[in-house]
Structure 1
Amino acid sequence: MSTDFTPIFLFLIIAVGTGLSMLVMSAVLGPRKATRVKQMPYESGMDPIGDARQRFDVRFYLVAIVFLLFDVELLYLYPWAVGQWSADAAIPAAAGAAPLIVGIPAVFRMLVFWEIMVFVAILTAGFAYVWKKGVFEWR
């Protein structure tokens, strides 16, 4: 067996061991007293009494969509930021091969920078729009 996979196996053993130890410790140390209140269903901070098809205020959905919008934005900004900082880094290759250059090539750095600035400007305009519409004001 090769030693190349030893760190992976160690990680898996530690991960499974941690999960199993949490299960065992919660069963041993956890509270066991079942009361009527503890057995009652809990639904998003509200008592689940009444019709299950009640109407929700549209502000819940607006806040969720705005959160997703600005959360997904980071998925696009993070690779750019990492590429900018590691633009001149080289990963050593095997013997006889050229090193792998990572990051954004110098020729495209300004183009990529201005594309990201346009992306951030569009997000800022969207942020200003939802702010003006009052999405962030909880009445």
Structure 2
Amino acid sequence: MSIPPILVYIGVLIGFVLTNLILTHIIGPTKHTPVKDMPYESGMDPIGDARQPFDVKFYLVAILFLVFDVELLFLYPWAVSAYTGEGGIPIELRGTVFGIMLVFMATLVIAYVYAWRKGVFKWR
């Protein structure tokens, strides 16, 4: 009876992590001083709390960036495979694939127009 390779991999991974944690704890410096325990912030004493909330606009722009970035992940392979000679999409299917991609692009344009009308791109 053999052990599946994934279990061996997980065992080695856990062993590696535990070994590093234990060795770091044993070998690492243990001398704590107020200066060493103080957070470093550009050589200046920290002022205020570091946990300040972000404006929602940043999250909306980040989500839109991800949506349109993933769009390019789908669009680029389609463009390369659709219009290359050998090994690309067969000529009989190019119209169908083009239609599917037009529906995909139309969905993204609708999403972009919706975000635009909601004022996501306005920095008030």
TM-score by length of 1: 0.55
Counterpart amino acid of 1:132? R
The residue aligned with 1:54 is: 52
The residue aligned with 2:42 is: 40
Selected match of 1:111 from 93, 96, 102:
96
**Alpha-carbon distance between aligned partners in 1 of 2:50 and 2:71, rounded to the nearest angstrom:** 34
Matching of residue 85 in structure 1 with residue 70 in structure 2: no
SS in 2 for 1:124: helix
Structure 2 unaligned spans of 5+: 1-40
The residue aligned with 1:72 is: 70
- Equivalenced residue count is 82
TM-score by length of 2: 0.61
Counterpart amino acid of 1:40? S
CA drift of 1:50 comes to 1.9
Q: Percent of counterpart pairs with the same letter?
A: 59
Off by >2 Å, runs of 4+ in structure 1: none
**Alpha-carbon distance between aligned partners in 2 of 1:110 and 1:49, rounded to the nearest angstrom:** 62
**Alpha-carbon distance between aligned partners in 2 of 1:83 and 1:114, rounded to the nearest angstrom:** 15
Selected match of 1:132 from 104, 117, 120:
117
The residue aligned with 2:13 is: none
**How well do the aligned residues superpose, as a CA RMSD in angstroms?**
1.6
Query: Highest relative contact order (Cα 8 Å, sep 6+), 1 or 2?
Result: 2
CA drift of 1:49 comes to 3.7
Structure 1 unaligned spans of 5+: 1-38, 42-47, 90-101
